[in-house]
Copies of this chain bind each other. A is one copy, B any other.
């Protein structure tokens, strides 16, 4: 994923789980015993994070060999072998849980995202994530959204400006807020305005906001917004959208639909680790 911080993340996850040592494995498994482990899907879904799992074993022992069988983004069925790791039996037993914790969470997010993306595949709209991610895992969770076919909104408060009602009130108007930011923030970053009414929408369009978030609007109003914007800004529908109304919202012609549940409430994908002898 090109993310240099991954190593630190894995280090912390292992320290959390292993602490001063895996007291069961250390005292029972001979140092020289070798083994192999299979990551096996127990329900269908989309794989995401298999390289994170690989990095977990490599962090414990650089001599671990990890073979990826299903790459990130591939659909898997129950029973599919996703990857195989060979190495010291100690390493496999000590790293198994952390490797699964990453893989199951990320695959869960990719799977949920993919299901929503498929639902609106025939529309113009794209599924968008939010900042409602697990503290410490944002870069991975946003990656999993992409793997599932979704798009990323800003990573954090620094790589996208988002003018909300409180900002507007502090400055006086949408117009002034947009103008102020346009003179201050890095020139590579877009300005988004959150609007609740069509009047606000029109002001944001006048102010040449790059993106406009339609906050908690119903389908009728979103349609009107799309008409009013007429392509002059990117439109994002947000708030109260879930599997029950997603298709309808996508049908309005809006560009993006953001859904916090992609990351904050996706259930883990069920994946097991089948440990066995090295020569199996």
Query: Hey, which bits of chain A sit against chain B, CB under 8 A?
Result: 1-5, 9, 11-30, 33, 35, 60, 89-90, 93-94, 97-98, 100-102, 104-105, 108, 128, 131-139, 142, 146, 151-164, 166-167, 170-171, 177, 180-181, 184-190, 192, 210-211, 234, 236, 256, 261, 264-265, 267-268, 275
Contact = CB atoms under 8 A, between A and B. Distances in A.
A176 to B, nearest CB: 9
Contact of A24 (B5, B27, B163): B163
A5 B256 CA distance: 33
Given A33-B170, A275-B166, A186 B137 contact: no
B28 A154 contact: no
A156 B167 CA distance: 26
Contacts of A133: 101
A163 B26 CA distance: 11
B189 A16 contact: no
A137 B134 CA distance: 9
Contact of A3 (B5, B16, B21): B21
A100 B146 CA distance: 24
B167 A29 contact: yes
